[in-house]
Amino acid sequence: MQRKSAEEMKTAVRLPAVVVLDNVRSAYNVGSVYRTCDAFAAEKIFLCGITAAPPNRELMKTALGSTESVPWEYRKSVYDAVLELKVSGYTIGLVEQTDKSISLEKFRPDANQKYALVFGNEVEGVSESLLPIADLAIEIPQFGAKHSFNISVSAGIVLWELYKKLRS
Which CATH number goes with the domain that contains 133?
Answer: 3.40.1280.10
- As beta bridge partners, residue 72 has 45
For the segment 119-147, the average pLDDT, to the nearest whole number, is 95
Q: Is pLDDT above 80 for 115?
A: yes
| Separation between Cα atoms, residue 103 and residue 89, nearest integer Å | 23
Question: HSE on the CB side for 47, CA within 13 Å?
Answer: 23
Strands (E), 35-154: 42-48, 72-75, 90-95, 102-103, 114-119, 136-139
pLDDT at position 146 is 83
pLDDT at position 9 is 84
15-22/114-119 β-pairing:
parallel
pLDDT at position 158 is 98
Total domains, the chain: 1
Q: Considering the domain boundaries, does residue 68 fall inside one?
A: yes
- Chain segment 150-165, per-residue pLDDT in tens: 999 999 999 999 999 9
3-state helix, strand, coil in the chain (%, to 5): 40, 25, 40
Q: Considering the domain boundaries, does residue 1 fall inside one?
A: no
| Separation between Cα atoms, residue 119 and residue 152, nearest integer Å | 9
In 3D space, the residue among 94, 113, 109 whose CA is nearest the CA of residue 166 turns out to be 109
Residue 61: exposed, middle, or buried by beta-carbon count in 10 A (0-12, 13-18, 19+)?
exposed
Q: Considering the domain boundaries, does residue 52 fall inside one?
A: yes
- Chain segment 24-79, per-residue pLDDT in tens: 999 999 999 999 999 999 999 999 999 999 999 999 999 999 999 999 999 999 99
In 3D space, the residue among 81, 66, 72 whose CA is nearest the CA of residue 22 turns out to be 81
pLDDT at position 52 is 98
In 3D space, the residue among 82, 77, 57 whose CA is nearest the CA of residue 67 turns out to be 57
pLDDT range class, residue 91, cuts 50, 70, 90: very high
Q: Considering the domain boundaries, does residue 107 fall inside one?
A: yes
Q: Report which of residues 147 and 66 the model is more confident about.
A: 66
Q: Is pLDDT above 80 for 168?
A: no
Q: How far is CA 94 from CA 60, 79, 89, 125, 162, in A?
A: 26, 12, 16, 10, 14
Mean pLDDT in the chain? 95
Q: Is pLDDT above 90 for 148?
A: no
Note down the domain range covering 140.
Answer: 6-167
pTM of the predicted model as reported, rounded to 2 decimal places? 0.96
- As beta bridge partners, residue 119 has 21, 95
- Chain segment 92-106, per-residue pLDDT in tens: 999 999 999 999 999
pLDDT at position 147 is 79
